[in-house]
Amino acid sequence: MSQPAEIVVEQLTKAYGKFLAVDNISFAVPKGMVVGFLGPNGAGKTTTIRMLTCFMPPTSGTARVGGFDVFHDSLKVRKNLGYLPENAPLYLEMRVAEYLQFRGRLRGMDRGSIKKRIDEVTELCWLSDRKRWPISKLSKGYRQRLGIADALLHNPPVLVLDEPTVGLDPSQIRETRKLIANLAGLHTVLLSTHILSEVELVCRKVIIIGRGKILAQGSPEELKQQCAQRGSGARLVLELRGPADQIRTALAALPGIEQARIISDNAVCAVELSGKLDGAMREQIAAMVQQRGWALREMRSAGASLEEFFVQITDPGAAAAA
């Protein structure tokens, strides 16, 4: 991580009266990286983003985007920033190209480069055939793409996208993710979302926020590992042929196994095990199964997903109940 950080957040806090929407958070987004900003609804994602994009000033702490302070050099920050707000609000009565032209002029671009960039971004966001359309006639997916096109228009080094795939159909979601993944390297992207698979697919780093605090950060793999180390998440699923209740009692009797649960039992029986499931344990299980003469069809580990991790750390109550 020798790359300099493009977004640096230090002890950022936003208070609404006594309520702390964002509580003393610090993180950094390295240059050219796509970073996922993850959290349940009301965790403070949008508030943080609004401070980064200079929409509202922080109560305390600092944030620097592209080397400029969001409070003192707000105009320079906004020049270097492309921002897609939640729900991509647009002027419905304008046409697509007309809107982009307006946005370009607000950013002080000259006519020639606006024209060139409109062609490029509409191509990039699959909007070329809709350039003459009034925005009010566009579907939600197209409006979302127009929002992304707008954020990209002035080719900013930093992009902040707030839930860019909301309202898109599955193939559009896939295309949008591909688009965002392609932006890596050229742009630094902070991607806010609560869709976990999205983060796993496009982000090299994840920041998880909950109740205004940063709960975890690291690469998706690191977080999965953390989850596995916590133990409670890791599970082993066995699929074998044999009498279900015998299998269950035999497996549960093994030292280190906390729980053995039959998931399904029709001809082939699936058992889910939890407890201490390291390599030696798995070998032991395999040996035991073979010795009993049950045909082993599959043994796989399950549960150490980002989703599990997310639920665990964002909602301690639910994790305890599980």
Partner 1 sequence: MSTTLALARREITGLFYSPIGYIVLAIYLLFVGLLFSLLVLQPGAIADPGPMFQWNHLILIFVVPFMTMSLFSEEYRSGRIETLRTSPITDFQLLMGKFLGAMGFYCVVIASSLIFILILSLFGRPDYMTVLTSYLGLLLMGMLMVSIGLFFSACTQHQILAAMSSCVTLVALGILFQAISYFLGSALGVSWAWLRTLRHVLRYLAIEPHMVNFSRGILDSQNIVFFLTGAGLFLFLTYVVLESRKWR
What's phi and psi for 108, nearest 5 deg?
Answer: 75, 25
- E strands, the chain, in order: 5-16, 19-30, 34-38, 60-65, 68-69, 81-84, 158-162, 188-193, 205-210, 213-218, 235-241, 257-266, 268-275, 295-302
Rounded to the nearest whole angstrom, what is the least distance from the CB of residue 188 to partner 1 in the complex? 16
Return the amino acid letter for 123. Answer: E
Among 25, 54, 236, 306, binds partner 1 (CB under 8 A): 54
Are 148 and 125 in contact by the 8 Å Cβ rule? The answer is yes
Q: Is 51 one of the binding residues for partner 1 (CB under 8 A)?
A: no
Least distance (Å) between residue 55 CB and partner 1:
5
Based on the shown chain and the rule CB under 8 A, indicate whether residue 71 belongs to the binding site for partner 1. Answer: no
Half-sphere exposure of 189 (CA within 13 A, CB side): 30
Please state the length of the chain: 322
Q: Report the residue from 105, 174, 292, 297 that binds partner 1 according to the rule CB under 8 A.
A: 105
Closer to partner 1 by CB, 146 or 238: give it.
146
Pick the closer one to partner 1 by CB: 88 or 311: 88
> Looking at 82-90, 175-183, 204-212, 229-237, which segment touches partner 1 (CB under 8 A)?
82-90
Smallest distance, Å, CB 216 to partner 1? 28
- What single letter denotes the amino acid at residue 186? L
Q: Which of residues 121-150 bind partner 1 (CB under 8 A)?
A: 150
Is residue 87 at the binding interface for partner 1, with CB under 8 A as the rule?
Answer: yes
How far apart CA 127 and CA 85 sit, in angstroms, is 19
CA 188 to chain centre: 15
Judged by CB under 8 A, which of 15, 20, 40, 79 binds partner 1?
Answer: 79
Q: For partner 1, which stretch binds (CB under 8 A), given 48-56, 61-69, 229-237, 297-305?
A: 48-56
What letter represents residue 84's amino acid? Answer: L
Is 155 an interacting residue with respect to partner 1 (CB under 8 A)?
A: no
Determine whether 186 is exposed, middle or buried from the number of CB atoms within 10 Å of its CB (0-12, 13-18, 19+). Answer: exposed
Q: Is 81 in the site for partner 1 (CB under 8 A)?
A: yes
How many of the chain's residues bind partner 1 (CB under 8 A)? 27
Asked if 188 is part of the footprint of partner 1 (rule: CB under 8 A), the reply reads no
Helices and strands (H and E) in the chain: how many: 12, 14
Q: Which range binds partner 1 by CB under 8 A, 50-58, 233-241, 290-298, 312-320?
A: 50-58
Residues that bind partner 1 (CB under 8 A): 50, 53-57, 75-76, 78-79, 81, 83, 85-87, 89-91, 93-94, 102-103, 105-108, 150
